[in-house]
Amino acid sequence: MTHSWPITTVTDAAGARIAVARLAAAHGVPPLERTRLAAALSGRLRQCLTKGGDWLLTARAANGLLGLEVRPAPGAQEPVWTAEAPCPEPSRTTVCTEVADDPALLAEALLGADEDTALVLDRLAEQEELVGYHREELHQTNQGVVALHAELDAAGRAQREAFSAERAARHEAERARRRLRFLADASAALTASLNHEQIVRRLPDLLVPEYARTAEVWLFDAEDDRRRPTAHPAAAVRAARTGRPQYAAAHPGGLPGVDDQPPSALDPGRPLLCVPLAARSAPLGVLTLTPPGERWDPDDAVMLVELTRRASTALDNARRFEHNRDIAETLQRALLTELPSTPGLSLAARYLPATHGLNVGGDWYDAFRQPDGALLVVVGDVTGHGLHAAVMMSQLRTALRAYAVDGAGPGQLLTRLHAMLHHQQPDLYATAVIARFRPGEPSLTWAAAGHPPPVLRDSAGRVRTLDAKPGAMLGIPLRQEIADHTLPIDRGSTLALYTDGLVERRAQGIDPGIERLATALGSLRTAELDRDLDGSAERILDPLLSDSERDDDVCLLLCHLDEAAPLTGTLTAL
């Protein structure tokens, strides 16, 4: 259905608007859409009247829509205006679209427009109330969001502060672990040595440059009186006198357990930390340090004082050890026999202390004559190490010489030593081998008690191990009679007596070492043994002691019958 209205005057426009309103109401256009459509049409008609001319308004209802169209007169250069509104209920009655020039009808149309306007205003009020409600709700929500943001911001700050505190605590804990690890490693490095000079050299190497820029060790008994005295800072002298750490600088250090002093006159621009090296009986010296930076961290200073205390203990232990070692070595050397000189029979002995410990043990060698002219050569080894083993070795050596006065053979002498050791020292044991050389007898008599077997080289260079059944160790709780063993020897023969420190290695046992000894002895020429038996002993030791570290003493005794000299004796071994 299509309706058209020519528009020329304002009356035409008002009538057309009234007719469109009726048509929209008849077709069921909702009041709000009807009002919106009427307002849009009124605005367009006012524009048309302002421009003047003839216009045509057309209304068309189809497909559930009410469409409006305003066209200018033919030939005018104006665009066509259109508008639409939904009309879900198409009118089944004829709608009067003619509006007479009647004031009553115009008033009725005006009142109808006011009703639509009132309805729109009611809807607008409802919307404003709803908007106000939502505005209040949004305000409350915004307040909650602001409060939540504030809480989140506070939580974020607290979390950042907690993270920062955690990082600081972790950093401090790592520094503490690093100090403890350094203290443990440095202490182990200092106590690993029993040489006080090595400890003094090692201490600055450990501290510089991480914990000190310089480190100087002043030992009281190390100054040579013949040299010009060395000047030391006043703080170091005060530390030596009081036994307390001293800090000398222009400003107080605030270090725990450290006394503050004025800056040193020798070097006023550098802070000094002077820590005494205190021993159990008397002070040893002073360690003077300069900081790696401007000053020390208090915890680092505490660690340095503790490390100095441990260095003092290590130095004191090293000096005590060196003192005891010197005494022990003097005792050991005093107990070693000066070998006798016998025509036709050469003797050479070597004794090497262990490289660990006090360098003194129970290994010994001896050679002496019996009243009938026989020459006894002995090599023995008392179990254990240190001064006690050395003292027991001295007692066995003295007892053996006393027992040999009546002319007893090697086996009988060892049997007596066994009884004496078991009676006097039931918890101490020993091994020994004795060889006897008797003038006029071209034979060798020997006996052994738990000792490595002698090695014999004949004049042709053939080497054999004298492994006939030996006796058990001396001092064990067992009654035993140790037997002699005798075999012939010729001129140019060499007998090697030794202790297990020469041939035994933990990873290999003793048998490979005895084989190496036999090989080394067999490689020597008879003329070489005749000419230089001492040098031959050195050449035997070199391949057997290629490693510089020895856990046990080494003793070697060579007995050589000169090839050119007449055979004048017999050799006995235990």
Residues 471-485: tens digit of each pLDDT = 999 999 989 999 999
Where residue 217 sits, what CATH number does that domain have? 3.30.450.40
480 and 360 fall within a common domain? yes
Question: Is residue 428 included in any domain, yes or no?
Answer: yes
10 and 76 fall within a common domain? yes
Burial class (CB in 10 A: 0-12, 13-18, 19+), 309: middle
Using left for φ > 0, alpha for ψ between -120 and 50, and beta otherwise, residue 349 falls in beta
The boundaries of the domain holding residue 62 are 2-101
Q: Rounded CA gap, 516 and 529, in Å?
A: 18
Question: Is residue 126 included in any domain, yes or no?
Answer: no
Where residue 383 sits, what CATH number does that domain have? 3.60.40.10
Q: DSSP label at 548?
A: S
**Phi and psi for 371 in degrees, rounded to 5?**
-55, -30
243 and 290 fall within a common domain? yes
Tokens of 64: 């559930």
Question: Is residue 455 included in any domain, yes or no?
Answer: yes
Among 325, 358, 384, the domain-final residue is 325
Which strand ranges, in their side-by-side order, compose the sheet holding 259-261?
214-219, 283-290, 272-278, 246-248, 259-261
426 and 299 fall within a common domain? no
Question: Is residue 143 included in any domain, yes or no?
Answer: no
Full pLDDT tens readout for the chain, 574 residues: 788 999 998 888 888 888 888 888 888 888 888 888 888 888 888 988 888 888 999 998 888 888 899 998 777 778 899 999 888 766 555 555 565 556 666 655 555 666 667 777 777 778 888 888 888 888 888 888 888 888 888 988 888 888 888 888 888 888 889 989 999 999 999 888 888 889 999 999 999 988 899 999 999 876 544 455 678 899 999 998 998 999 999 888 889 989 999 998 888 888 999 999 988 777 889 999 999 888 888 999 999 999 999 999 999 888 888 887 777 667 666 667 788 888 888 999 998 877 655 556 678 899 999 998 899 999 999 987 667 777 788 888 899 999 999 999 999 999 999 999 988 888 889 999 999 998 777 889 999 999 999 999 998 999 999 988 889 999 999 899 999 999 999 888 999 999 998 998 877 788 999 999 999 999 999 889 999 999 999 999 988 886 655 567 889 999 999 876 554 444 443 3
524 and 452 fall within a common domain? yes
355 and 489 fall within a common domain? yes
- Cβ neighbours, 10 Å, residue 156: 11
Question: Is residue 235 included in any domain, yes or no?
Answer: yes
513 and 386 fall within a common domain? yes
Tokens of 87: 């009309």
340 and 453 fall within a common domain? yes
Q: Rounded CA gap, 228 and 181, in Å?
A: 41
Question: Is residue 139 included in any domain, yes or no?
Answer: no
Question: Is residue 128 included in any domain, yes or no?
Answer: no
Q: Give the amino acid at 6.
A: P
* 219: β partners: 285
Taking each helix axis from N to C end, the angle separating 298-335 and 196-207, rounded to the nearest 10 degrees, works out to 160
315 and 378 fall within a common domain? no
306 and 341 fall within a common domain? no
Domain count, the chain: 3
Under 8 Å between Cβ of 458 and 490 = yes
Tokens of 342: 């016998």
373 and 423 fall within a common domain? yes
262 and 410 fall within a common domain? no
Question: Is residue 185 included in any domain, yes or no?
Answer: no
Among 52, 72, 101, the domain-final residue is 101
Among 67, 101, 135, the domain-final residue is 101
Q: Rounded CA gap, 136 and 134, in Å?
A: 5
Under 8 Å between Cβ of 362 and 384 = yes
